[in-house]
Structure 1
């Protein structure tokens, strides 16, 4: 089973000796990962990254620590000793979970967590076909809704979030607000010049 997504490190990656060498490699990198799958808890998993690409990535990003986010493509996900495990095919650093708030004075910027909504995703099981994010930044929901409205797609057709989740509700609200804004702009553009609005 393959999946991809953004995960956070539960501790820095560490180099391990492989009990049975794979593809000519006798060592790999162990990544202990987490993903928030509900408001009640975190799904944990363990991934192994093997090969020259893994070594190069770890050398470039030797500063990785617990809490850092990675965008990973995982393969061969399976349950072993009551834990979900897999192998990393490729990966890259992901934006921090709580980006700095934009301000005029960058030196005065304070960490500001984005507003989030729950997607209502279910916990992972060995039969889960993919690994959905259950917590989504409202800014992402708003952008997707605006893009869908501009592309003239219906809200139901374009909504990428689970049915009846908070994220889906927010998506539809933003979609309606964007349609209203577009209608108002068209009405203003259609008014003859000099006419009071």
Structure 2
């Protein structure tokens, strides 16, 4: 199976996905990402009452979901037009002709190679999968309390809390994701990937923390 078809399956059909749990990795049957994304957007602006997943609360998250869906629909329309424009493209008909977003995504995957857009479609589908997964399972951000930034020497940085009050928070934080990322909110210094382990060593992190940071 090509990367494009694999990504198209993750977007449009139920697929087996390995997830990490406290008991170790578990293989689950994951729902189509586009189906989950569409369920978060209703004509009234409310989520589906039957949906058990949550991407958080508040307007910024809802707007992020809507923005993601709109961008996917716009990009899909362009890719679908290209996939239907090559000589020998099959006629449009229900089920495979592109009447729905999911049908269009699958149509592009089936005909991208013949239309000469396989690389472009693969890049787009990869970005969609990663973007939707980040929305529904955002990476954990760990503040490094009481630790001074090795770049600027500051341990705290001012920010506004939910009540609009100016408070001091840890300057350093580490985002635990597939590619870990450290950042100083005071001076803007950034550590990415293997550099995060160097950051952990510089600030005297424990062996457990070093393991979390990828050392």
TM (normalized to structure 2)? 0.21
Of Structure 1 and Structure 2, the greater strand share is in 1
Structure having the higher helix fraction is 2
